[in-house]
Every structure is written in structure tokens, then in C-alpha cells.
A and B are shown apart, each in its own frame.
Chain A
């Protein structure tokens, strides 16, 4: 155990504890939620800095210190009064800034929403609050979740806790970095093409994209509505399951919400039994295009699973080779429509044209020109093109047909295997700035995660070890739609096997973070 970094006695122990452990200690009244929240706020003050500072992890765009402490004291008082509380009550959580939070600023990483304070809570936020989980703040992200490195945030990049000269992945780099840097035990992410799983992979954390519709989209700032899915970010498979269970389940306010019950995910994570489970290695998502270090780590995990009694088979999904191309037509098409709501009329930024008449149409164009960053403009224009008359059939129409073929490949593969596996990302974390001028290189980071979004099936990334460069590698598990518990069953078992080999969690071997000046008055130590 590393020595305390945040100065408060016992604080280091509290920030390094898992959410499951914290929940138990809170329930046993060995620790108060206020102490747990304060330890995390101190940790944020010590290592986070702020986006744009040039120092620190910069996982948070906004820290809700006072509100989190108030929520914690409320839970502590209710517990002291003998009230029957949710098992996770008092465990704090960070929320990606693409999820609206009543009374707390929500920008989705964009200047066009700077200063906007939502008048309502997303359904998943309502559920976190109802469970008594204090919200630590809002995490950094690529603008409108468009990116794979968090460098497209209008407020500055988040840095990878393993090496602060590298990206934490994206778009949910803030949520992944927050849990990996021990700034939050849990965080909420969203995953449209890999934005939970790919950041989890490159930060040595766990991230889950549930089955499409498994967690309500009500209150998510939409990018591509047929692909967007919220899910948990955590340091262990069990913790991810606990957060998934809090947020999941039917919501009448989202017409695409599944009516199925969320399932016994934590039980699956604890079962640690993979005997007889058929594990299908997707041929098209391995080998060429994946770095040697990533491939070696992946194969070592397969060996562990086989030794534990899983039946490892190879499956082929030939149309996955076209999934990335189809995704970069479908996603921008849906985004170009969804982002029409940012027009400077009802909320957010309004910019008047510098010359000429001030008409609504000209104000819209000036507002969107000034308020959107380069990647957002690129995708809106690409989507506008793919949907335009004369091109619709060739681009959007064809991409939708590829989507059908990807679904058929999944269906055939799940005839031969209970779960499908691959490395989560083709490489370990890449250096800040290295792909900013090459959109196609940036897009390639999601090559292994996109198929699950196109088909709506659930996927998980969990750490499988370090590559030769000393950086974490992610192992992806995919299951059929509505079979999320299989992710947790396999993930929990593999995690236990790996930790036995490592002698503890992978994140225990992450380098110590430097202490940076606390630049946010709201998180200054009490």
C-alpha cells in the first residue's frame, strides 16, 4: 500500500478501497459517508488540477464538493436513524458530463453549453441520488462524446494516470481516469462506439457497455441515438456490476428502454466459475493491426481461462472488417440530426453574426460556428453529406445494410460460443497530440469496440496486464443481447485469476501521481 498522498490520516485507505468494500464498511458504520466523500475530494484536490491547467490528471470539469458532502451527511443521518438504505448508500460516484444533472453545470465538453445548468436529472442520476450515492462532480470528455482521446474536450485534455504525457482514451477519458487515479471509486460513462471500454482498457480499469436499452438514455445529451448507451466505470468487475444494478432497468421515459429486469449481475461477478463456458476468440479482432504487447497480454489471459476450464474456440465474423466504415456513416448521420438542437435559441450559447442582418438563421450559423469544435463540425458535415439526396442510398443506406450483416455475424458466432472475446483496443495509451491531426488514425482506436454498438450487444473491458511499454492492456468480452450477466461471470473469473498471478490489483502497480496545486476553490481541503 502506498503512503498517504492526500494528507488526511486513513484517507489513502478510503480512496483505494473498492466500492463493494466501502459499501460494507459504511453499512457496518465503521466509516461515515462524509469521511469517504471528503477523502475523495482531498484526493481530487491533490492530483486533478483542472483541464487546461497543463498539470494533473484533469479528470473533472466540475467538482460538486459542497453538494456531495451534503448528500453524504444526509445518508449518514438516515443511517444513524436506523433507516433501511440501499446497499450502495454513501458510496460516491462521478458522472460523465454528457449526463444532465439538475442544478449542476453540464457542458458535454462543449463551449456551446458552457454555463448551462440543466433543469432536470437524467433517469440514471435520479437512481444514483435515490440510492444515496453522493455525486462528486462531472467528468471530462471529448466534445459531445466525439473522440477517442478526450483531447477534443473544449476545456483541455485529461491525462492518463499511468503516464500523464499520454491520453486516457475517449470519449470518456475523464470517468476512466477518475477511477484509475483513485479520485472516485465509481464513475458513469457512455459508450457509442467504445467510449467506456476503450478508456477502461488504456487506464487499467473496468468499463461496461450494457445491452442497448439496458440503462435509460433519458437525460443523456444524444450523439447517435441508436448506438448511445450509458454504463459503469470502476476498478473491479464486482464494482461495475453494483453500479450497473443501481442504474439499470426499465424507464418509461425512454421508448427504447428494455423492459427486462436488470439481472443478478453482482452474483455473476462473484461466481468465478467458467468451467464449460465457450469463449469465442473473434479472428477478425485479433492479430494484424494489434500491437505485439496487446496481443501477448490477450493470449496470456486466454491461457488462464482455458486452464480454469473454459472452452476456448475461434470464431469468424468477416463483416466486422467493414464495421468501422459503417459506423463512421451511421454515427455522423444520427449526430447531425441530434445536434440540430444546439441552435442558440432555447439554451446555451447565442452568438450574433459580426455583420449583416441579425436573423434567427444567421444567429444559428454564427452560434454553431463559434460554439462547436473541429471534430463536431467534421462529423455534422459528414452526416449531412451521408444523408443528402443522391448520396443517401450509397452511404447511409449501405451502412445500415452492413449493420444487418454485423448482426448476422454476431448471431452465428453466438451459436458457437457463449461469449466472444478480443483485445479492447489495438494499442496501449497513445501520446497526447499524436493523432489529433489524423482523424482516421484516431477513429481506428475503436476498431474492436464498434461492432457491439452496431449490434446492440453488451461488452466489457477489464485489464489483462501491462504491455512491454509498462502500460495497461484491456481484454474485451461480448455477450448476446440481454445476457449481460455473462460478461460479469467471465470478467469476474478472469480478474480473480489475473490478480492471483499479479498478487493484487493491476492499479496497485500504477506510478504515484505528483501532487499539483489545487486550482478549484470548491475542492480545497477543509
Chain B
């Protein structure tokens, strides 16, 4: 019984916004199941009293003076955009029609 089924992987790929063709999905599901099975042991080696570490070194908030800094030239930034118009990124429709 796999930890991760093909349906699970299809759902995760949709959440991650990645289209997969059927062959790719089948292959990835098999590989991911093997990887998850291999790494799942981490939950058995730690106890509740061990704190989690999210970052390697102690960090404190870093502040700077609230002064406006120059930003990149708009034309330079838009030069790498798939589509641009009127000094803005041009993107596909973002809301459903109805």
C-alpha cells in the first residue's frame, strides 16, 4: 500500500500549479512514494521536548531607516516580462467570468 497514491500526487501537483501528463504523473507518484517512505523515519527519532529549528543561526529583526531608495528602472524590469503594457505587467484573466 503506497503512502502516496497517484490521486494524492495529482492533487498535490494541482495545489503546486504544475500540469503533469499521465505518464509523468505515474512515474512521479512511484518515485515520490519511495522518497516519502525513506524520509518518514524522522518523525520517530524526535520527541516532543525537542524544539524545532527553522534557521541555522540566531536571528534578530533587521531594521533600516525609513527612507525611500531608488528602485530598478521600470523599463529594465519589464524587458524580461512575457507581456507588458503601459509600464505594467500584462497578465491573463485572473477572475472567473460570471
Query: Which A residues have a C-beta under 8 Å from some C-beta of B?
Result: 116-120, 211-213, 226-227, 252, 255-256, 258, 319, 322, 325-326, 328-329, 336, 343-350, 352-353, 357-366, 368-370, 372, 374, 377-378, 380-382, 384-385, 388, 394-395, 397-405, 407, 439-440, 453-457, 481
Contact = CB atoms under 8 A, between A and B. Distances in A.
A403 B12 contact: no
Nearest to B14: A365
Contacts of A319: 45
Contacts of B46: 398, 401-402, 405
Contacts of A226: 54-56
B79 interface: yes
18 contacts: A119-B77, A226-B56, A252-B64, A346-B80, A360-B94, A364-B17, A368-B19, A369-B18, A374-B27, A380-B18, A382-B35, A395-B39, A395-B43, A400-B52, A401-B52, A403-B52, A440-B38, A456-B55
Nearest to B95: A359
Contacts of A440: 34-35, 38
Contact of A360 (B52, B53, B55, B91): B91
Interface in B3-38: 4, 8-9, 12-21, 24, 27-28, 31-32, 34-36, 38
B92 interface: yes
Nearest to A453: B56
Contacts of B34: 439-440
Interface of B: 4, 8-9, 12-21, 24, 27-28, 31-32, 34-36, 38-43, 45-46, 50-57, 59, 62, 64, 72-73, 76-77, 79-83, 89, 91-94, 96
B19 A366 contact: yes
B78 to A, nearest CB: 9
B62 to A, nearest CB: 4
A404 B80 contact: no
Contacts of B51: 401, 404
B53 A403 contact: yes
Nearest to B84: A346
Contacts of A252: 62, 64
A359 B94 contact: yes
A365 B40 contact: no
A350 B83 contact: yes
Contacts of B21: 369
Contacts of B31: 378, 439
A382 B9 CA distance: 9
B17 A347 contact: no
Nearest to B15: A384
A509 B64 CA distance: 52
Given A358-B92, A401-B52, A456-B56, A322 B16 contact: no
Given A350-B82, A384-B16, A345 B91 contact: yes
A378 B32 contact: yes
A457 B56 CA distance: 8
Contact of B12 (A357, A385, A455): A385
Contact of B50 (A360, A380, A404): A404
A381 B18 contact: yes
A212 B32 contact: no
Nearest to B59: A256
B57 A380 contact: no
Contacts of B8: 385
A119 B79 contact: yes
Contacts of B43: 394-395, 398
A193 B18 CA distance: 25
Contact of B28 (A211, A328, A378, A397): A378
A211 B31 CA distance: 33
Contact of A381 (B12, B72, B77): B12
B33 to A, nearest CB: 11
A345 B82 contact: yes
Given A346-B81, A456-B56, A119 B72 contact: yes
A385 B80 contact: no
A213 B60 CA distance: 13
A365 B17 contact: yes
Contacts of A329: 39, 42
